[in-house]
Structure 1
Amino acid sequence: MGHGGNVIMELTIDHHEVEEFFAKIESQPVGDEQRRKLADELTIELVRHSVAEEVHLYPAVREHVPGGDEIADKEIADHARVEQLLKDLEGLDATDPDFDHLVARLKLEVSEHVRDEEARLFPLLVAAWTPEGLDELGDKVRSAKNTAPTRPHPAGPSTPPGNKLLGPGLGLVDRARDLLTGRGKS
């Protein structure tokens, strides 16, 4: 959710929380309904995190990091693959034969993306920007996660200005649907 600190701290904590969700899913018996509920919670976290990165982190990377356009484009492509997997997983029951396969593919994609961000992108951003700028970016990312969608929308825009305009509205609709259905509440 919102952890505090600069953007690197905020997103790194998110990454650890996502790893914990995968571990919780894997600890449940195959076909158990709890796996579906945990997958919904994982989806909520991943979508909110991705939207916040796309709205604030990647534009900052484009502006401040040498070669930032190429880096941001690669990260956004990673997000697109993850979002499609989340969409494919969204309607499946935990007993569906494809459920575990999609969770495994999702874990692989997310793990590779996280490793790349933490090993390459984050150090480049720290080297290219001021501590104050990183703190402000952390605040913006936290704020964006509060209004971001909670469901995958692979056809939606992933770059400004489209994502800044549509994201909060989609987020409001998604949170209303979640409230009505109880999705994301263990």
Structure 2
Amino acid sequence: MGHGGNVIEELTADHREVEEIFTRIQSMTGGGQELRDLVNEVTIELVRHSVAEEQYLYPAVRDQVEGGDRIADKEIADHGRVEQLLKQLEKADTDDPQMSELLQQLMDEVAAHVEDEENNLFPLLRQACSSEMLGDLGEKIRRAKAMAPTRPHPAAPDTPPANKLLAPGAGLVDRARDFVTGRGKS
């Protein structure tokens, strides 16, 4: 969940972690509980990552990067599509043929988002921000991920200040549900 380093290093490590989970999903031959556990794992990681970006990265992009409003709006729209797919996956049975289609859509969406962030957004951010600011953002991202929801909430606000006020409460409820059900423990 927390990798250390500045915001770019932290988020890039998250990207590699999600890609590794996708690789494990792609190498599976069946469904069942093993697939459900991996879908839960990738959901938890993607939701935490997205919430933290929406709370701290995108406001910094808006403030520091030329054309930042347009960039942040595009990234938040990407998150919205991913969150809708995660919600559908949460409801889908692992043996349903639609599951593999939804997973492929999710992997494609996330791959495009990661490529865009790493090749376009991160270089702009690195150029616009001091190393101290990037380090501070990394700390904020790690704290946000620790308090973030673990389940998709497509109707939740995705911009400050509402997201910063509501996400910790949703995160607490999600983590309580996860504890009771054992979700994310494998």
TM band (smaller chain)? over 0.9
Q: Could you say what secondary structure the match of 1:138 adopts?
A: helix
Which residues of 2 match residues 96-135 of structure 1 at below 5 A? 96-135=96-135
Partner AA of 1:48 in structure 2: R
Offset at residue 30 of structure 1 (A): 2.8
Task: Give the Cα separation in 1 of the matches to 2:169 and 2:131.
Answer: 32
Offset at residue 175 of structure 1 (A): 0.2
Q: Could you say what secondary structure the match of 1:153 adopts?
A: coil
Task: Give the Cα separation in 1 of the matches to 2:25 and 2:108.
Answer: 14
Q: How many residues align?
A: 186
Offset at residue 36 of structure 1 (A): 1.1
- 1:66 equivalent in structure 2: 66
Q: Which moved more, 1:168-177 or 1:89-98?
A: 89-98
The answer to whether structure 1 residue 184 and structure 2 residue 184 are counterparts is yes
Q: Which moved more, 1:130-139 or 1:91-100?
A: 91-100
Which residues of 2 match residues 44-59 of structure 1 at below 5 A? 44-59=44-59
C-alpha offsets along residues 44-90 of structure 1, whole Å, 9 cap, x if unaligned?
Answer: 00000000000000000000000000000000000000000000100
- 1:2 equivalent in structure 2: 2
Partner AA of 2:44 in structure 1: I
Task: Give the Cα separation in 2 of the matches to 1:55 and 1:164.
Answer: 6
| Root-mean-square deviation over aligned CA pairs | 0.6
Partner AA of 1:160 in structure 2: P
Structure 1: 4+ residue segments shifted above 6 A: none
Which residues of 2 match residues 26-37 of structure 1 at below 5 A? 26-37=26-37
Q: Could you say what secondary structure the match of 2:153 adopts?
A: coil
Percent identical residues: 66
Offset at residue 94 of structure 1 (A): 1.1
Offset at residue 96 of structure 1 (A): 1.1
Gaps of 5+ in 1: none
Gaps of 5+ in 2: none
Offset at residue 27 of structure 1 (A): 1.4
Task: Give the Cα separation in 2 of the matches to 1:99 and 1:42.
Answer: 14
Under a length normalisation based on structure 2, what TM-score does the superposition of the two structures give?
A: 0.99
Task: Give the Cα separation in 1 of the matches to 2:30 and 2:85.
Answer: 19
Task: Give the Cα separation in 1 of the matches to 2:128 and 2:157.
Answer: 27
Offset at residue 32 of structure 1 (A): 3.5
Partner AA of 1:116 in structure 2: D
- 1:165 equivalent in structure 2: 165
